[in-house]
Amino acid sequence: MENNQVSFGDSLENYCMFYNAPALLNHDREKEFGTVIAESKNKLIIVDDEINRKHVYLIHKTKVDHYSNKQIYFNVPETSLKDFEM
């Protein structure tokens, strides 16, 4: 992990809400797939289009690899995103 990265255990909830963090697929070369807009218990709510909300995802925090530079990186392949749609 680089010096500017923070591990999952370091107040992820505050980081997400404070920055309205972009969500990236760490598994697929850091492809952005939405924005973290809220949390629900142990899950993060992510929308791919904040205006139209075409896709809304509910992803468990254990799928977070790390966060840095105001971005959250998930260990989820793009082909599995549909499994997390609300």
> In the predicted model, is pLDDT for residue 3 greater than 80?
no
pLDDT in tens, 42-77: 899 999 876 666 889 999 999 998 887 788 899 999
Measured CA to CA, the distance from residue 32 to residue 50 in angstroms comes to: 14
Structural domain span for residue 45:
5-84
Measured CA to CA, the distance from residue 79 to residue 27 in angstroms comes to: 11
Tokens of 21: 């963090």
Tokens of 6: 């923070």
Q: Does the pTM of the predicted model rise above 0.85?
A: no
Domains held by the chain: number: 1
> In the predicted model, is pLDDT for residue 1 greater than 50?
no
Residue 85 carries which DSSP code? Answer: B
Measured CA to CA, the distance from residue 54 to residue 37 in angstroms comes to: 14
CATH of the domain at 34: 2.30.30
Percent of the chain with pLDDT over 90: 24
HSE, CB side, 13 Å, CA atoms: give it for residue 13: 5
